[in-house]
């Protein structure tokens, strides 16, 4: 009987050891085999433009290839890249942009760019053709997202400020383990200025219990049923989660909008710890 107990104990010990070894091997494989990102935080690297899709008269999606079909950009969720180009006077210009793709999109990354008439970097993108190269450096940024770090995000975006919100939203909704709720307020001047509307509406339909979007237009078309004017305290109160230790409000837009939103949020009781500006 004692022999049987001893033998059983040895078998259990061996099984535990085997599980530990397998678990360690799996972790080692994950850490060592995880694709390395293509970015360099200190030096610019060139990426080839392989596709340009015009989305409106002044907005286009630029797709850049990575070194191999299985390469990933290596950009943490909520961070951005620095892009370098030449303005209309042939002077160097560097500007931050947030890709709309994630590291689950292998072999390429996308930038959705709104090209302003007087924009210095806008000129560079306007002149780009398939086959040209873009200088990119990164990752950059203070925001580092972890799944389920908050119960809910309020997001307030204006114009091209939607891109970091879109990136975080995609990461949350495409992760079945992430239960974070998202309440997005997206402001623009006209209906045609709304970027990524088709994708946002699809999110709202497919993930109706987790994602909500409320559009605000300064110059709405006839029959518009969204918000009108500028984002007000009342709009924030109605469409963002109430102040609480387990929520955070992200904001990204033109400087005057960011300033106004900070004032509104403070007046509504959102502490500095509950806010983040891209």
Calculate the CA 152 to chain-centre distance: 16
- Our answer to whether residue 98 is catalytic in this structure is yes
- Our answer to whether residue 97 is catalytic in this structure is yes
d(CA 59, CA 57): 6
- Our answer to whether residue 215 is catalytic in this structure is no
User: Of residues 38, 97, 100, 123, which has the active-site annotation?
Assistant: 97
Main-chain dihedrals φ then ψ at residue 45, nearest 5 degrees: -125, 150
β-partners of residue 108 are 65
87, 95, 105, 108, 141 from 84: Cα distances, Å: 10, 7, 23, 18, 17
Contact between 153 and 248 under an 8 Å Cβ cutoff? The reply is yes
Burial 110-123 (b: 16+ CB within 10 A, else e): ebbbbbeeebbbbb
Calculate the CA 78 to chain-centre distance: 5
Contact between 173 and 266 under an 8 Å Cβ cutoff? The reply is no
User: Of residues 38, 83, 240, 252, which has the active-site annotation?
Assistant: 252
Nearest to 112 by CA among 104, 122, 120, 100: 100
User: Of residues 38, 98, 145, 215, which has the active-site annotation?
Assistant: 98
d(CA 97, CA 111): 7
153: which residues sit within 8 A by CB, 6+ positions away? 168, 172, 180, 181, 182, 183, 241, 247, 248, 249, 250
User: Of residues 80, 123, 183, 239, which has the active-site annotation?
Assistant: 80
Catalytic site positions: 80, 97-98, 252
């Amino acid at each position: 009987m004692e022999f049987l107990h001893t033998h059983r104990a040895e078998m259990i010990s061996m099984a535990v050891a085997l599980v530990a070894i397998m678990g360690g091997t799996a972790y080692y494989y994950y850490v060592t085999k995880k694709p390395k990102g293509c970015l360099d935080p200190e030096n610019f690297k060139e990426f080839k433009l392989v596709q340009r899709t015009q989305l409106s008269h002044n907005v286009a999606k630029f797709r850049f290839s990575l070194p191999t079909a299985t390469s990933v950009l290596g950009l943490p969720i909520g961070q951005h890249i620095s892009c370098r180009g030449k303005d209309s006077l042939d002077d160097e210009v560097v500007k931050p942009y947030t890709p709309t793709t994630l590291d689950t999109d292998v072999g390429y990354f996308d930038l959705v760019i709104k090209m302003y008439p007087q924009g210095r970097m806008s000129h560079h993108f306007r002149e780009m053709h398939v086959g040209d190269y873009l200088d990119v450096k990164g990752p950059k940024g203070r925001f580092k997202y972890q799944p389920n770090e908050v119960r809910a995000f309020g997001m307030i975006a204006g114009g091209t400020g939607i891109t970091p919100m879109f990136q975080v939203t995609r990461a949350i909704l495409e992760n079945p383990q992430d239960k974070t709720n998202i309440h997005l307020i997206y402001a623009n001047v006209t209906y045609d200025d709304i970027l990524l509307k088709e994708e946002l509406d699809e999110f709202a339909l497919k993930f109706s219990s987790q994602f909500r979007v409320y559009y605000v237009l300064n110059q709405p078309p006839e029959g518009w049923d969204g918000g009108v004017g500028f984002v007000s305290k009342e709009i924030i109160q109605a469409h963002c989660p109430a102040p609480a230790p387990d929520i955070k409000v992200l904001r990204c837009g033109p400087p005057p909008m960011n300033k106004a939103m900070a004032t509104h949020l403070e007046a509504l009781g959102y502490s500095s710890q509950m806010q983040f500006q891209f």
